[in-house]
Amino acid sequence: MTRHRVAIALLFFAAGCEKPLKPGDPVPKLTKEQRDRFARGKVVFDSVFTPETGLGPLFNQDACGECHEDPAGGRGDEVEVHATAFHASPPNPPPAVCDPLAQEGGPVIQLHTTPALKQALGIDQEPFPPSATARAMRTSPVIFGRGLLDLVPDTVILSYADPSDKNHDGVKGRPNRFVDGRIGRFGRKGFVPTLREFNAGAFGAEMSVTNPEQPTEETVGGKPIPAGVDPATDPELSQEALDLTDDFVRFLAPPTPLKAGKDGRHGRDLFSQIGCATCHRPLLRTGDSPVAALKNREFAAYTDLLLHDMGPDLADICVGLATPADFRTEPLLDLRGAEHFLHDGRATSLEQAIELHGGEAAGARDRFKTLSEADRAAVVAFLKSL
């Protein structure tokens, strides 16, 4: 250790602070056994599947770590295609109906096939569902801190909701709900209730790797896969490998925000003053958990886990109760190295990402636009410290 490093270590020790967490680090205070599971889960997360070990016959990529990468769990450059059908059924206004198009291979349209499927059907990706009313592009997001988001009590999420805008601030917010009525929180449209279900589902949707919690093979546009093209026996992933992957994702910590300079601190104040924090709630607290390291922990989240109407320009597909224009407030995490923003990556700077906010976020966006150039730069400097 250099003298400089010793000094820094002593400083943290003296201040009683925890060491800052880098992107990809596990949450602090895991037991030795949990740290071991984190390390072994990372190996499954990064392992490359082949047709022999269960990949395909349709897939988007051959490893979780291909899309959530550098380090494992970070943003990726893969962009997916999702499709559903939205029927705003009469009498309007809703109840509207969102059809995930399972009978036509939706909502995730796999972009690659194994050589065996290509040979059998002559296709090199899943056919686009004919009944889709919209196509959505989805960048691969950072998945740090999702284990903490998983443990925020439903009551907290509901306490932020204001579906009829009772306080007249122009911001509503309501939770998405899964088919069985449970509150959703994962995915850009906040449809999936638990991290566990999302992780098990990702093996199926992204790689067509069957597992004990996602036992059936994906279809090809809703039709069963032809005999003989999928040699691996189901389930293609063991319960133990699924559990390890789930622990790896669950234990990934939100990186500690960088030390904000004077500008960044001013930007953080402005972020609250102009109303960004109404949706991007800076701090959330987890509830109970059998994992002591995740229990009753306050963390930088910058989300309310609710759906907000973001206006017609960002709108694409419906998912569950989320209409085409509704998106879950994106947690603001690890923005320091990001190069594209919003669900389809259309914004190439933070300033542009803010300018593209519409709908319920139009008020905050307009207040941002009327700030002085120096104040706008301070908000961006703050975001870059996350």
Interface of this chain with ligand HEC, residues 67 to 106, rule: CB under 6 A? 67-68, 78, 80
Taking CB under 6 A as the rule, does residue 276 contact ligand HEC? yes
Binding mask 200-229 for ligand HEC (x = CB under 6 A): --xx--x-----------------------
The C-alpha atoms of residue 196 and residue 198 are separated, in whole angstroms, by 5
- Residue of 157, 171, 244, 294 interacting with ligand HEC (CB under 6 A): 171
- Residue of 34, 84, 199, 208 interacting with ligand HEC (CB under 6 A): 199
Nearer to ligand HEC, 58 or 117 (CB): 58
CB 135 within 8 A of CB 81: yes
Which distant-in-sequence residues (6+ apart) come within 8 Å of 34 by Cβ? 26, 247, 251, 291, 293
Nearer to ligand HEC, 19 or 336 (CB): 336
Taking CB under 6 A as the rule, does residue 198 contact ligand HEC? yes
CB 378 within 8 A of CB 263: yes
Largest CA distance in the chain: 72
User: Could you tell me how far CA 362 lies from the centroid of its own chain?
Assistant: 23
Taking CB under 6 A as the rule, does residue 66 contact ligand HEC? yes
The C-alpha atoms of residue 221 and residue 183 are separated, in whole angstroms, by 29
In whole angstroms, the minimum distance from the beta carbon of 368 to ligand HEC comes to 4
In whole angstroms, the minimum distance from the beta carbon of 255 to ligand HEC comes to 13
CA distances from 178 to 86, 140, 194, 222, 332 (A): 16, 22, 10, 21, 24
CA distances from 236 to 45, 46, 132, 239, 335 (A): 15, 16, 30, 10, 35
- Residue of 354, 378, 384, 385 interacting with ligand HEC (CB under 6 A): 354
Q: Which spans of this chain sit near ligand HEC (rule: CB under 6 A)?
A: 60-61, 64, 66-68, 78, 80, 138, 140-141, 143, 146, 171, 186-188, 195, 198-199, 202-203, 206, 245, 249, 271, 274-276, 278-280, 308, 310, 314, 327, 329-330, 332, 341-343, 350, 353-354, 357, 360-361, 364-365, 368, 379, 383
